[in-house]
Structure 1
Amino acid sequence: MPHSPTPLVFRAASFVDVPELVELVESAYRGDSSRAGWTTEADLLDGRRTDPESIREMIEDPRCVLLVAERSGELVACCQLEQRDEHAYFGMFAVRPGLQGAGLGKEVIAEAERRAREAGAGEMRMTVIQVRAELIAFYERRGYVRTGRLSPFPYGDERFGLPKRGDLAFELLTKAL
C-alpha cells in the first residue's frame, strides 16, 4: 500500500512569513529556479514577481487573506484570497517548483474556493497572462471560464516584472461558487 503524503495545513500568513513567502513566489515564477516547475514566467518576464512590501500590504488588508499551505511544517504553497463586493479574487498563487504537478495546487485552489464560499462569495475571479495557454488550461480543468475580457499589462511598472515581449495582457477567468 503506497504511503500517503502528510496532509496540507492551511493558515493565514503572518509578518514572520514575509521573507519565505517572497522566496516562494519568486522561485515559482522567476529565474532559473522557476524552470523546475511548469508555472514559470521566466520566458515572459524578468525582474521581481513580488516584494516584502507587497506581501506585508496583503497581510495587513482586512479584505485579504494570504493563505499559506504547509506540509510537515514546511511552507509549500500560498495564494491571495481577497473579498471584492460579491466575488473573491484569487491571486499570488505559488507552489514550490519541485513539488508542482503532485496535486498541491488543486488542494490549494479547493481550499481557497471553500473559504470564499463560506465568506459569501458567489464567484471566484482571477487574472492570468493571456499567452499562458498551459496555465489557463489548468484553471479551465478546475471549472474556470475564460471571459475574453482583457486588461493591459502594466508595462513600465517594475512591480509586475520586466516584460520580454510586447504582447502581454491579463485575461479575466471566473468560476461560479
Structure 2
Amino acid sequence: MITIATLEDIISLEKLINSAYRGETSKKGWTTEANLLEGKRITVDELTEIIENKKNTILKYTKNNQIIGSVLLANEGNKLYLGMLTVSPELQNSGIGKQLLHEAEVHVLALGLPKIVMTVISIREELIAWYKRHGFEDTGAREPFPLNDADTIIINQPLEFIVMEKII
C-alpha cells in the first residue's frame, strides 16, 4: 500500500533509505552507492525538515506494517522533483520502484505540473538506463555533486549529477 509518510515514519524511513544506499546491506541491491560513497545518505533531522516542508511529500510503500519503499516528491512550482526513490535491497526488482514511480506521476498530475525532474549520479549507468526505460530522458544538464559532512567519496573520480526529466 502506498500512502503519504508522516513524522511518525521518520525512524523507519531513515533506516530504509540508509540501508538501500550505503553500507553493507545496500550491496544486496543493485541501486547501492556503497562503492562510491561512505557515510549516511540521510539523517533523522534531514528527514524531519523534508516532511515538515509543505512543498514536499514522501510516499511510503508499506507491506505487513513495514515500510519497504519510499520516494521524495518536491513541488518546485513549475515541475515536480523526484528524489531518493528507495526500495529495500532484498526486494529490489520486485516492481515496488515502478509502482512508486507510477504514484509520482499520479501526484504530478494532481498538482497540475507538466513534468517530473530528477538527478542521478552520472556514473550510475544501470540506474540511468532503468529511468530511461520508464520514460525519463537526459536533459543534457549537469549539476555538481554536493557532499555533506558525513559523505566521503571512495573512488578517484569526481562525481556529478545528470538531470533527467519526464514530460507528463
- Answer whether TM exceeds 0.5 for this pair: yes
The corresponding residue for 2:44 is: 52
The corresponding residue for 2:152 is: 162
Instruction: Report percent identity of matched pairs.
Output: 35
Q: Secondary structure at the match of 1:22?
A: helix
Code of the residue aligned with 2:154 in structure 1: it is: K
Shift in Å, 1:81: 0.5
Shift in Å, 1:158: 2.3
CA offset digits 1:59-95 (Å, max 9, x no partner): 1001110111112322110010011111100002110
User: What is the distance in 2 between the residues matched to 1:154 and 1:75?
Assistant: 27
User: What is the distance in 2 between the residues matched to 1:10 and 1:103?
Assistant: 13
Q: 5 Å matches for 1:13-162?
A: 13-155=5-147, 157-158=148-149, 161-162=151-152
TM-score (norm 2): 0.96
Which 4+ residue blocks in structure 1 deviate beyond 4 angstroms?
none
User: What is the distance in 1 between the residues matched to 2:95 and 2:87?
Assistant: 10
Structure 1 residue 172 corresponds to structure 2 residue 163: yes
User: What is the distance in 2 between the residues matched to 1:102 and 1:154?
Assistant: 31
Shift in Å, 1:175: 0.3
User: What is the distance in 2 between the residues matched to 1:50 and 1:152?
Assistant: 18
TM-score (norm 1): 0.91
Shift in Å, 1:141: 0.1
User: What is the distance in 2 between the residues matched to 1:134 and 1:167?
Assistant: 18
Gaps of 5+ in 1: 1-8
Gaps of 5+ in 2: none
8 Å Cα contact 1:33/1:97 also seen in 2: yes
User: What is the distance in 1 between the residues matched to 2:97 and 2:149?
Assistant: 27
User: What is the distance in 2 between the residues matched to 1:104 and 1:154?
Assistant: 28
8 Å Cα contact 1:13/1:67 also seen in 2: yes
8 Å Cα contact 1:86/1:120 also seen in 2: no
User: What is the distance in 2 between the residues matched to 1:84 and 1:93?
Assistant: 17
Q: Secondary structure at the match of 2:48?
A: helix
User: What is the distance in 1 between the residues matched to 2:145 and 2:84?
Assistant: 16
The alignment yields a C-alpha RMSD, in angstroms, of 1.0
